[in-house]
Structure 1
Amino acid sequence: MDKYLVTGASGNIGKYVVDELIVLKKDIKAAVHNTEKAKKLFKDKEDVELVKFDFLDKKTFENALEGVQAIFLVRPPNLANPRKDMLPFLEAAKEKGIEKIVFVSLLGVEKNPIVPHRKIENMIKNLSIPYVFLRPSFFMQNLNTNHKEEIKKRDELYIPAGSSKTSFIDTRDIARAAAISLIENKYKNISITLTGKEAIDYNEVSKILSEVLGRKIEYKNPSLLRFRKERIKRGTPKEFANVMTLLYLMTKLGTAKDITYDLEKIIGREPIGFKQYAIDHKDYWS
């Protein structure tokens, strides 16, 4: 048996995990909410089996887990209560004899017991399921998802991070590390902090975006409370606005600036730099 379940398979890490596993010639179950919608995304991928999956629907667990060796796990941002929302699936995985879970956790989670990621890590450990916890820094791709509209329509970065630096990481690199961690036995029962190759502040981010896009992108640095209020006003769900505010508070306190070299050791090449990310994604903001 050599089949892998990828949760969040249409997301900004999961879709790249699928691609990496295809390169590694593995069979894949891609877990998605809407299989019809996902068919377009995976139409050219013969080794991918689409399965309808929902953490909140136990009826979807059996088919998703059948014949699976290991799981790539991401927490949907809207699921704020891991014990209620995700533990039933983890218990089902344990019952099925899953050999490993590679979970995308959070940078600095070992110092923060209240965030959902820490609780999920603890649940996996308590169930004695072999694991790899990947603890990445701030995703570059957050800028073309969570901050896409403000860059595209307002030519601004509306982020309360002060002058602190962030060791941004490309989700394509996280996906490669996740795929390798899934299939290689030497990665087992470990937690790995993943960062990009350099730490830059948001003034530098705005400078690079301005250069790549050919127009001025201004870094606006609101207070944390003003940021939260404005995000909610612009349509961000309150719970997610709270999470974003907490993450930027941690950034402002300097927790996102450190650089590690474990990513390069796993993926076997230099991590993708911020300018290359911006070039590759510029159509999102055009």
Structure 2
Amino acid sequence: MSKILVTGATGGLGSAVVNALLAKTEASNIAVLVRDAAKVETLKEKGVSVLVGDYSDFDSLVAAFQGIDKLYFVSGNDIHNRIPQQENVVKAAVAAGVKHVVYTSFQRKNETATSPIAFVAEGHLKTEEWLKASGLTYTILKHGLYTDLLPMFVGEQVLETGVIYQPAGDGKTAFALRTDMAEAGANVLISEGHENKIYNITGAKTYSYQDIANIISEITGKQIIYVSPSVEEFTKTLTEVGVPAEYIGLFAGFSGAIKEGEFDEVSSDLADLLGRTPVDAETFLQGVYGK
């Protein structure tokens, strides 16, 4: 069996991939890369190898990648430093002789600077280019938006306010559950036939925020309405209630991308990799709001 290394193992996606792998292969086949080994003591107790490294420290990556056959490369969350960090990961994988890199990229249509999410896109696009030019065997997983983010996007107080307030217009999104994406990634890691392939990892259907409002209304019996302001009004309103500028920009960027149709493409790739239909938004929202 190949030796698999999962980066970002203390984060939501990386930890979910490790959990999926533990259900499919022996712990001795799995390693994790973390900055703080103390945070994954339970994994070590299960027999998972724990390696310490940092995307900003090239030498630590080369050392950690020794003897690794397959690397599950979770994209970094430090947007400002993502480009040099991820270049380090690709170069270190080459230097260490990693056989296969599985990279978590993003779903998109617009790859230009005019995209509302250009601020997060650049690092992904460059990393894909580096992988293709590196000589490494790669698999690129173009992840759509997590269904898990819906409670944050609709607002923690949505049942109290009765309003979903996002500048996304009538745009639709093929939301997919993070654990489904993680299981699909684990299946790629433990099987063959994915060499130099690109998969679009989306849910099986698309939803607008009006659809989400209708679903939550049906689940809770409370009427939820969807209001789509202009970006300027959205920014002004959230600034006045004290929301930090970086969060406003993040929400506005993703809503703008939704409005422009960046995430409205449905692919069967996730279902094919899972061998089943992905969990839909109705099921997820029932679990959140049907209590």
> TM-score if structure 2 supplies the norm length?
0.83
163-172 vs 5-14, greater mean Cα deviation: 5-14
Letter in 2 for 1:92: A
Letter in 1 for 2:79: L
Letter in 1 for 2:76: P
Letter in 2 for 1:220: V
For residues 184 and 235 of structure 2, what CA distance do their matches in structure 1 show? 32
Change (3 A) 1:273 1:38: same
Letter in 2 for 1:76: G
Q: Displacement, 1:3?
A: 1.9
Partner of 2:38: 36
- Flag structure 2 segments of 5+ consecutive residues without an equivalent: none
**Aligned pair 1:117/2:119, yes or no?**
no
Q: Displacement, 1:139?
A: 1.1
> TM-score if structure 1 supplies the norm length?
0.84
Cα displacement string for residues 69-96 of structure 1 (whole angstroms, at most 9, x for unaligned residues)? 1111122232334442221222111111
Partner of 1:254: 261
Partner of 2:185: 178
1:128-139 aligned at under 5 Å gives the runs 128-139=135-146
- How large is the RMSD of aligned CA atoms in angstroms? 2.9
Partner of 2:280: 273
Query: Percent of aligned positions with the same letter in both sequences?
Result: 25
Q: Displacement, 1:228?
A: 4.6
60-69 vs 228-237, greater mean Cα deviation: 228-237
Q: Displacement, 1:49?
A: 2.8
Whether the 8 Å contact between 1:51 and 1:63 is mirrored in structure 2 is: no
Change (3 A) 1:214 1:134: same
Q: Displacement, 1:245?
A: 3.0
Q: Displacement, 1:147?
A: 5.8
Letter in 2 for 1:206: A
Whether the 8 Å contact between 1:22 and 1:47 is mirrored in structure 2 is: no
For residues 99 and 215 of structure 1, what CA distance do their matches in structure 2 show? 53
1:213-228 aligned at under 5 Å gives the runs 213=220, 215-228=222-235
Change (3 A) 1:204 1:125: same
Max Rg structure: 2
For residues 249 and 34 of structure 1, what CA distance do their matches in structure 2 show? 36
Cα displacement string for residues 101-160 of structure 1 (whole angstroms, at most 9, x for unaligned residues)? 111111126744752211111111121211111112221012245666454775643322
Letter in 1 for 2:34: V
Structure 1 stretches of 4+ moved >4 Å:
144-148, 150-156, 213-218, 228-237
**Aligned pair 1:263/2:265, yes or no?**
no
1:17-96 aligned at under 5 Å gives the runs 17-26=17-26, 27-39=29-41, 42=43, 46-96=46-96
Q: 1:166 aligns to what SS in structure 2?
A: coil
Whether the 8 Å contact between 1:210 and 1:217 is mirrored in structure 2 is: yes
Q: How many residues align?
A: 281
Change (3 A) 1:65 1:156: farther
For residues 36 and 151 of structure 2, what CA distance do their matches in structure 1 show? 23
- Flag structure 1 segments of 5+ consecutive residues without an equivalent: none
Change (3 A) 1:104 1:237: farther
Whether the 8 Å contact between 1:109 and 1:118 is mirrored in structure 2 is: no
Partner of 1:107: 107
Q: 1:165 aligns to what SS in structure 2?
A: coil
Letter in 1 for 2:37: T
